[in-house]
A and B are shown apart, each in its own frame.
Chain A
């Protein structure tokens, strides 16, 4: 009986740690993706002003245990970096239209 109860707890603890671990790596995965996009757009000279700050805030939120807030911030940074990359793509040609002639 005791044994059964203990093993139930062990399994429960295992599940919890697996779940938590799963979430943390989900954050890491999404963070890495957003950071990679930010670096891509920085290399093209089109990074926006606060994308890096948002990613820093996301890390701080995650560290303080607020995973939900951290994921919202990561998504915001990913959105910015993606939009900035599209901007860089458009401007590869679009700037020529504005040249005074």
Chain B
């Protein structure tokens, strides 16, 4: 009876607040790898794997994403059809733009940097960019680069029930098994982090959103965070969602919240 009362009075696990979730999430990795400083998780798997880290640092000597940053910088300075520039719409402090996203906006849901860029282009009479286009990825690479050293600071305001709903939807997606192979994101990136799937080591979700977009050697090009999500969902043999779909934006919102306090260090380079 006393036990029933006690259990009855405990909140359901899924109803824990975002900040409790985040502390538990960080704590999970901390208990698995006590020697790894939390800030290191911004470097993904290279926080955990010495050999891969050495190779990665060698790649970083001549960053394969440099060209993307340069192109992004040119796009930033290009005038839009109505004579305005993106800076008029997105903000004048260039290092403060990337850290404002993803954020929840009532009636719009989770607004990512990509969504904000397209909204600005649209308002200025320019064509919206495809979310897998080189232009979009280059511009986000540039804005990430300019924001290096700023911390992720995603907010789920208590007075906006929609924000909590979006966060909860992203959390639910992250922990749900899907696809013919029946994997949840968490099955690999929480439960099995650091383990090998054939030759590949599974990276931590903590710190995952900080370094995108990334240059992937395997693909010989830059990819966005949502393209990475797309690849994972496809690999568990589920039908992937569209880039910048509500599902993926909610996952980005949840995962970015989990990484709050970590430094933005994009663009990155990955195998």
Contact = CB atoms under 8 A, between A and B. Distances in A.
Complex A–B touching at CB under 8 A: yes
A49 B238 contact: yes
A48 B178 CA distance: 8
Contacts of B24: 100-101
Given A42-B239, A96-B175, A99-B175, A49 B180 contact: yes
Interface string A81-101: 001000100110011101111
17 contacts: A45-B241, A46-B178, A46-B238, A47-B238, A48-B179, A48-B180, A49-B179, A49-B234, A51-B239, A87-B178, A91-B178, A96-B14, A98-B186, A98-B190, A99-B171, A100-B24, A100-B186
Contacts of B165: none
Contacts of A69: none
Contacts of B21: 99-101
Contacts of B238: 46-49
A47 B12 CA distance: 28
B16 A80 contact: no
Given A48-B180, A96-B175, A98-B190, 7 more contacts: A42-B239, A45-B178, A51-B239, A91-B177, A95-B14, A96-B12, A101-B16
Nearest to A48: B180
Contacts, number: 68
A17 B138 CA distance: 61
Interface of A: 42, 45-52, 80, 83, 87, 90-91, 94-96, 98-101
Interface string B166-180: 000001100111111
A49 B237 CA distance: 5
A91 B173 CA distance: 10
Contact of B13 (A48, A87, A101): A101
Interface of B: 12-14, 16, 20-21, 24-25, 27-28, 171-172, 175-180, 182, 184, 186-187, 190-191, 234, 237-241, 247
A52 B241 CA distance: 14
Contacts of A98: 175, 184, 186-187, 190-191
- Find the residue from A48, A87, A95 having the highest chain B CB count within 10 A: A95
B184 A95 contact: yes
B190 to A, nearest CB: 6
Nearest to A91: B176
Max count, chain B CB within 10 A of own CB: residue among A51, A52, A96? A96
A61 to B, nearest CB: 22
Given A47-B238, A99-B21, A94 B177 contact: yes
A98 B179 CA distance: 17
